Amino acid sequence: MPWKTLDDLDLNGKRVLIRVDINVPMEDGKVTDTTRIDRIVPTITDVLAAGGMPILMAHFGRPKCKVVPEMSLSHVVPALSDILGQPVTLIDGNYGARVAALEPGEIALLENLRFNPGEEGNDAGFAQRLASLGDVYVNDAFSAAHRAHASTEALARLLPACAGRLMQAELSALEGALASPKRPVCAVVGGAKVSTKLDLLGNLVGKVDHLVIGGGMANTFLAAQGFDVGKSLCEHDLADTAREILSKAEAAGCAIHLPSDIVVAREFKAGADHEILSADNCPTDAMILDAGPDTVAKLEEVFTECNTLIWNGPLGAFEIAPFNAATNAAARKAADLTRAGKLISVAGGGDTVAALNGANAAPDFTYISTAGGAFLEWMEGKTLPGVAALEG
């Protein structure tokens, strides 16, 4: 790996600037999901154990370069302190003087970086101001690594830099799944629209052995092959693009898997009347809302044949029953194979994580990424500024 980790740097007595992602959901002033906070604990505890002084940097919401009280990180401090088991000092004014006053063993958190226009502008001056606060830079926010911001890109070039434990785990898992995977490799790509994942599909067909296309995206591919998809969500204007992807996959030796049977309904609501039909038999007044059991059985066979699985996006309208059946069944099969040591499974993306949690499959996956856009751009083969800066 071309980037350093915490084990490669001397942290004893050092002020350690740590970029984290604690952009957590809130309701009534309280954090409703602490997953992102939980994930940064190993880095902070290891820095403390090595004699370093953690100075956390983060963003919260989209304040558009101005101070928005509702987006102050002060709202996150109670949950952060509780999970870390010690007080966290919020620094929202004179950075230099207040950081200098910190004692060894204390943990500090700088106020929302996005209050300052220099953050999103990747401003060299703001990065230098941040660099003056520390001796070492640690990026533990893979989920923000696709943004070339001052705290993720410019700052990393001003101090000795390394990846934190979460970043290290993310990069190791993704490199293992795409860069040097144990073959055969299967990728599941679902979601509503092909247009949002053109780069992803184009990159994957040259890297994986099996590509499963599900969700609303599958309707576009079915339509491109001449199937009637009724009133289903479908990007008919991308039919030529879909056919190009199919041709590229065939040339690369990548097997494309589309639904062979479908679950259709006349209305989109929980418990709606529905029927299971072959993929070439969608009624003109119906919507395709899920893949059918025959499709799931074939996917389970593919999973069994493979050694590595990458998952991004659901197979159907997973938010409502009964149109979550295909996603749930396929996810549980992947989880079972992973638990048995027969499959390496890596997943990421907001809807994906929600779907895998809904299927009670997430705990058994090899790795679940907390990132959304960064996970997708990595899978698309794009260079992430925050990662590239660690390699420099």
| 157 marked ligand binding residue | no
Note the pLDDT of residue 123.
96
Examine the residue annotation and report whether 269 is marked as an active-site residue of this protein.
no
What is the tens place of the pLDDT at every residue in 302-311? 999 999 999 9
| 114 marked ligand binding residue | yes
Q: How confident is the model at residue 371 (pLDDT cuts 50, 70, 90)?
A: confident
- Give the CATH H-level superfamily of domain 6-168: Phosphoglycerate kinase, N-terminal domain (3.40.50.1260)
Least confident span in 2-6, 225-229, 280-284, 349-353 = 349-353
| 55 marked ligand binding residue | no
Note the pLDDT of residue 294.
98
Note the pLDDT of residue 351.
86
3-state secondary structure 300-367: HHHHHHCCEEEEECCCCCCCCCCCCHHHHHHHHHHHHHHHCCCCEEEECCHHHHHHHHHCCCHHHCCE
What is the tens place of the pLDDT at every residue in 219-276? 999 999 999 999 999 999 999 999 999 999 999 999 999 999 999 999 999 999 999 9
| 44 marked ligand binding residue | no
| 183 marked ligand binding residue | no
What is the tens place of the pLDDT at every residue in 124-139? 999 999 999 999 999 9
CATH number of 181-379: 3.40.50.1260
Which is catalytic among the residues 14, 15, 36, 165? 36
Looking at the DSSP assignment, which residues form a beta bridge with residue 15? 53
| 59 marked ligand binding residue | yes
Q: Is the pLDDT of residue 40 over 70?
A: yes
Note the pLDDT of residue 282.
98
Do the domains spanning 6-168 and 181-379 agree at the CATH topology level?
Answer: yes
Note the pLDDT of residue 93.
75
What is the tens place of the pLDDT at every residue in 348-358? 987 898 899 99
Q: Average of pLDDT values for 16-23?
A: 97
| 23 marked ligand binding residue | yes
Note the pLDDT of residue 8.
96
| 197 marked ligand binding residue | yes
Where do the structural domains in the chain lie, given as residue ranges? 6-168, 181-379
Q: What percent of the chain shows pLDDT beyond 90?
A: 86
Examine the residue annotation and report whether 36 is marked as an active-site residue of this protein.
yes
Which is catalytic among the residues 4, 98, 157, 193? 193
Examine the residue annotation and report whether 248 is marked as an active-site residue of this protein.
no
Alpha carbon separation from 341 to 179, 297, 331, 335 (Å, rounded):
21, 20, 15, 10
pTM score of the predicted model: 0.88
Note the pLDDT of residue 53.
97
| 267 marked ligand binding residue | no
Q: Is the pLDDT of residue 1 over 70?
A: no
Which is catalytic among the residues 13, 105, 271, 350? 350
Q: What percent of the chain shows pLDDT beyond 70?
A: 99
Examine the residue annotation and report whether 350 is marked as an active-site residue of this protein.
yes
Which is catalytic among the residues 51, 230, 373, 381? 373
- Looking at every residue in the chain, the average pLDDT score rounds to 95
